[in-house]
Structures are given as C-alpha cells and as structure tokens.
Amino acid sequence: MGILDSDLEEMFARSGEGTGVFPFDVQPKKITEKEFTSFQQLIHHISGIWLPPAKATLLVGRLLKRLRIRGFSSFDEYYGAVTSEPEELTEMLNAISTNETRFFREPLQFEFLEQRILPQWKADGKSGKRSRRIRVWSAGCSTGQEPYSLAMLLLHHLPPSDGWEIEIIATDLSTQALETAMDATWEIAKASEISDRYLKAFMLKGYGEQEGRLKAGPEIRQLVHFFHLNLNDQAYFISGKFDLIFCRNVLIYFNVETRTQIVRRLLQFLLPEGYLFAGHAESLHTMCGELRAVMPTIYNHARRPGQQANAHR
C-alpha cells in the first residue's frame, strides 16, 4: 500500500460525534403503539422506508441516542421536534438508515462486470460502436465502499491512457454516511476486503496519527462525485443517462408499491443497453414487463429502444 503524505492529513480529519454523555435523569419510555405508528407513517412518507410493527424494537434502538442527546423523556416529545425542526428530521433519517456495506460486496456481480460487460465495452469502443465515456450511478452508496470499488475496477480495465473517461455519481439518504464516503477514510481492517492488486494501486495506508486507517487514493477519489438524494422523491436532480446503475440492498426497505415506483424512476436514467444491479435479497420479478434478468440480481430494459449506446450521456 502507498503511504499517506502530510498533505493528506487535513483531508483525513473526521468530524466528532459528541461526548456521548447523557443526563442520568433522562429515561425515555418504551415506544407506545400510537407513537410507533406516528413515526412509521412519517418515515414512510418522507423516505419511502416501511417499518412493520415487528421493527418497533429496532426503531427504539436507532432513536434512543437522539432522545437522550435532546433530553426528551418520551418518543412523543421527540416526534414533536422531528416534525418542527428540519435539522432534527435529518438526524432522525441518519439514525434509522442502515449503512452496512463493504468493498466488492456480492463478488459475482463484479465478476459479471469484469468478465462479460467490460470486454464487450472494450471491443465496442475499439470498433467505434460506442463512446469511451462510462457513467455509473451508485444509488444508496452508504459510506462509499461501493462507488470506490467500482472506481478501482473500471480504472484498472478502462484506463484514461486508452481514451476512457469514467464518471461515478454516488447518492444516499444519510448525510452522515455521505460525510464518511466523501472523507474516503475507513479502519485499516477494511483492507482485507480489497485484492492486493487494487490495494497497492489505489489505496493509501495511514501512518503516525492516522495509523490504523485506510484512505482512497486521489486517482479514484476524482472519479466519484457525492450528492444527497432521497430515492422516494418524485423527481431526481440527476441528469443524463448511465451505463450502470447500482441500487443494492436498498430496495428491501420499501414495500412493493414504493419499490416499483423507485425502480421505474431509476430506469428513466438507464441507457437502452445499460444494466441495473440489485441486491441478492431484492427480487424484481414483478416488473418482468419492464426488466429482463440477465442473471440473478442483474437486469436491463425488457424493451430496448432503437437508440445508439452513446445517446444522451
């Protein structure tokens, strides 16, 4: 691995998360059925995430820290703050977001990309059948491991020296997760998820005060652009079309109706010959009229308009 130089130390800084010390007299009550329903409906309305009653304990665990920080003794009090303070609404969405991720998660999908998609792109690029500009959207990027994994793989196989231009857009609902993603810094244990080939070429190992840390190198950081985006919004500010859209392990948090609406919006941004990647637990079989399964969890348009592959990029 490379070594971090002193110029990166400022970028290596991380924001604090408070003292974590709470007053002993703040003892929030267990959530009542009425309180849970209020949060359930609010969260679904804002984010599209659906929490069934069985998730009440999970919700309590996710929100308890915010109640203690704010000094509220009931979830009803906290609901009042969430519905009247935009900043606290953001904090609540951060708290309920599941940010579990890792580098090169679901390896079979990366193998498909490496063995099936990229060889075809390279052949088409060489023959002039397609442009050498690649656009990728990581929709639900969490703390950044997914878009940086894509950046490493694509940059290795489609280098700028061969005329390839790569752009990766990464979005997430959680502003807290996005802060980590933009900082591009993780615990050194994450290095075990990355092959030596990519680790040596694209990642930096911290030393001194940053010992025990891992940071994405500048070659891949410059490819990835992060934005806050709520997939439940009726319209997205994203522009242009994408060759690949990764929306993995996100759709499972929506009910069937919301999931269908979101996938339809995503498909509007997918090139006719593009691919949509979902998570291993996310079946989209109900959308067979709009999607065609290339292999489990990888889809493209069921009906491909007769457009050039490089149109509207």
**Minimum mean pLDDT range among 92-106, 134-148, 160-174, 276-290:** 276-290
3-state SS string for 175-243:
HHHHHHHHHCEEEHHHHHHCCHHHHHHHEEECCHHHCCEEEECHHHHCCEEEEECCCCCCCCCCCCCEE
Work out the number of other CB atoms within 10 angstroms of the CB of residue 292. Answer: 14
Rounded Cα gap, residues 190 and 156, in angstroms: 20
CA 128 to chain centre: 32
* DSSP category for residue 7: G
The one-character DSSP state at 293 is E
The whole-number average pLDDT for the span 285-300 is: 86
**pLDDT of res. 6:** 35
Task: Give residue-wise pLDDT tens across range 185-236.
Answer: 999 999 999 999 999 999 999 888 888 999 999 999 999 999 999 999 988 9
Domain boundaries, the chain: 33-96, 107-301
Nearest to 170 by CA among 235, 113, 221: 221
Compute CA distances 110 → 51, 54, 105, 152, whole Å: 31, 34, 8, 11
Query: Is the pLDDT at 17 greater than 80, yes or no?
Result: no
Q: What is the DSSP string of 122-167?
A: HHHHHHTSS-SEEEEEEET-TTTHHHHHHHHHHHHHS-GGGT-EEE
Above 90 in pLDDT, residue 123?
Answer: yes
Which residues are CB-neighbours of 195 under 8 A, at least 6 positions away? Answer: 104
Position 284 scores a pLDDT of 82
Enclosing H/E stretch for 299: strand 298-301
Contact 149, 178 (CB under 8 A): no
Residue 145 above 90 pLDDT?
yes
Q: Is the pTM of this model over 0.95?
A: no
Q: What is the DSSP string of 39-52?
A: HHHHHHHHH-B---
The third-level CATH classification (topology) of the domain covering 107-301 is: Rossmann fold (3.40.50)
pLDDT value, residue 272: 94
Task: Please state the rounded mean pLDDT for residues 14-38.
Answer: 61
Q: Note the CATH number of domain 33-96.
A: 1.10.155.10
The partner residues of 169 in beta bridges, in order of sequence, read: 137, 225
Q: How many residues does the chain have?
A: 313
Q: What is the pLDDT of residues 84-122, one digit of tens each?
A: 999 999 999 999 887 789 999 999 999 999 999 999 999
